[in-house]
Amino acid sequence: MPRVGILAIQGDFLEHRTVLSGMGVDAPEVRLPRQLDDVDGLIIPGGESTTIAQLIDIYGFRPALKDKAAEGMPIWGTCAGMIVLASRLTDHRPEPLGLMDIVVTRNAFGRQVDSFETDVEIAGLAGLPYRAVFIRAPVVEEIGPGVSVLASLADGRPVAVRQGRLLATAFHPELTDDPRVHRLFVDVVEDAAQRSVKVD
Ligand code: GLN
């Protein structure tokens, strides 16, 4: 069983833990860069992206996360986590990690629709549409050639994207009781862990 770390410096990391624990997945909190060596994948949770990015730098996570991503560690960003993974933001802050070839707009839905829920079809998820919870959510404006769109809103704007082992969702699967997106990420982590065992 792979270990899926959760970046636990700000935001709703506990909710991710609860979902993963309910699935029987070991989900340690990652608070220091060296703890990245003990996990097979990482979730960057929702929260406040400017604060998360600031703390990433204060704790020295930036180079470690770049190294891990380059080595093929699966990373999933939800909401603020998506913002942090982006290559570029339409906003002038924070400075994203630049791990995924996506351009992201923060707070894309404005004040009127601060938070909302809607059904989305997510590629690779069997069964009913997924009830997605958006909270001051970002949206993907542009994607690079290696990025595939897993889900879009009715107006066509992408809200779930994947680039190799990197996943980003504008919504919060940790705030619903439907674990299918967590399962999708755990499958990516499991597959990556198995391949690295074979190569070694
Ligand atoms: N609006 C937040 C930001 O820009 C993200 C909101 C969230 O993660 N729920 O950081």
Active site residue 16: no
H helices within the chain, ranges in order? 13-22, 49-58, 61-70, 80-85, 180-199
In terms of phi and psi (left: phi > 0; alpha: psi -120 to 50; beta: otherwise), the region of 4 is: beta
The pLDDT confidence band at residue 1, using thresholds 50, 70 and 90, is confident
Burial class (CB in 10 A: 0-12, 13-18, 19+), 58: exposed
Mean pLDDT, residues 6-10 taken together: 98
The pLDDT confidence band at residue 53, using thresholds 50, 70 and 90, is very high
Active site residue 92: no
Give CA–CA dist 84/72, Å, rounded.
18
Report the share of the chain in percent with pLDDT over 90: 94
Ligand 1 atom nearest to 106, measured from its CA: 4
- Going from the Cα of 14 to the center of ligand 1, the distance in angstroms, rounded, reads 16
Residue to mutate, 9, 10, 49, ligand 1, most ligand atoms under 8 Å from C-beta? 49
The pLDDT confidence band at residue 112, using thresholds 50, 70 and 90, is low
Q: Over 80: is that where the pLDDT of 36 sits?
A: yes
Give CA–CA dist 24/37, Å, rounded.
21
> Could you give the count of Cα atoms lying within 13 Å of 135 in the half-sphere of its Cβ?
17
Are 163 and 147 a contacting pair, CB within 8 Å? yes
Ligand 1 atom nearest to 47, measured from its CA: 8
Q: What are phi and psi of 194, to 5 degrees?
A: -65, -40
Calculate the CA dihedral of residues 92, 5, 32, 88 and round it to 10 degrees.
-10
Q: Over 60: is that where the pLDDT of 199 sits?
A: no
Q: Which structural domains are found in the chain, ordered by start?
A: 4-199 (3.40.50.880)
Could you tell me the pTM of the whole model?
A: 0.96
Mean pLDDT, residues 148-160 taken together: 97
Determine the pLDDT at residue 80: 98
The pLDDT confidence band at residue 114, using thresholds 50, 70 and 90, is confident
Q: Over 70: is that where the pLDDT of 35 sits?
A: yes
Tell me if 48 CB under 6 Å of ligand 1: yes
Ligand 1 atom nearest to 52, measured from its CA: 10
Tell me if 135 CB under 6 Å of ligand 1: yes
Mean pLDDT, residues 92-107 taken together: 97
Pairing of β 166-169 and β 4-7 = unpaired
Pairing of β 158-163 and β 148-152 = antiparallel
The pLDDT confidence band at residue 196, using thresholds 50, 70 and 90, is confident
Tell me if 133 CB under 6 Å of ligand 1: no
The pLDDT confidence band at residue 158, using thresholds 50, 70 and 90, is very high
Q: How many of the other CB atoms lie within 10 Å of CB of 115?
A: 11
Q: How many of the other CB atoms lie within 10 Å of CB of 165?
A: 17
Burial class (CB in 10 A: 0-12, 13-18, 19+), 184: buried
Determine the pLDDT at residue 121: 97
Active site residue 182: no
Catalytic choice (79, 141, 182, 190): 79
From 76, 41, 111, 154, select the one nearest 84 (Cα to Cα). 76
- Going from the Cα of 68 to the center of ligand 1, the distance in angstroms, rounded, reads 24
